């Protein structure tokens, strides 16, 4: 399979994996927030009862978790495409 073919074959896989990564990252964040903040609900940016510090820490933590999960899933997907096609999808 050509490099372009591998890249095209990875597109739908990447989309599905990305959606799944978002769901997993959200679930992981909720569990981590429960432990870190001793609170069942993470703050929303528009939550009037929460301070700036708490909102920004929650946003940073959520972003970090999402980035790690997404990178892990993207890398695993690319490795899977290489195994299936013999070519790296990038």
Boundaries of every domain in the chain: 3-85
pLDDT value, residue 53: 95
14, 74 Cβ separation under 8 angstroms: yes
pLDDT value, residue 1: 59
pLDDT value, residue 67: 95
Retrieve residue 11's tokens: 């597109």
pTM for this predicted structure: 0.81
Does residue 7 register a pLDDT over 80? no
Which are the contacts of 36, defined by CB distance < 8 A and separation ≥ 6?
Answer: 61
Cβ count within 10 A of residue 23:
10
How do residues 17-76 score in pLDDT, each as one tens digit?
889 999 999 999 999 999 999 999 999 999 999 999 999 999 999 999 999 999 999 898
Does residue 86 register a pLDDT over 90? no
């Amino acid at each position: 399979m050509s490099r372009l073919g591998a890249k095209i074959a990875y597109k739908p896989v990447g989309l599905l994996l990305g959606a799944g990564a978002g769901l997993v990252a959200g679930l992981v964040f909720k569990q981590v927030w429960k432990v870190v903040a001793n609170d069942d609900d993470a703050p929303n940016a528009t939550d009037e009862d929460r301070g700036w510090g708490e909102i920004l820490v929650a946003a940073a933590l959520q972003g970090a978790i999402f980035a790690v999960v997404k990178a892990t899933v993207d890398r695993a997907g690319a490795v899977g495409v290489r195994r299936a096609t013999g070519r790296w999808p990038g």
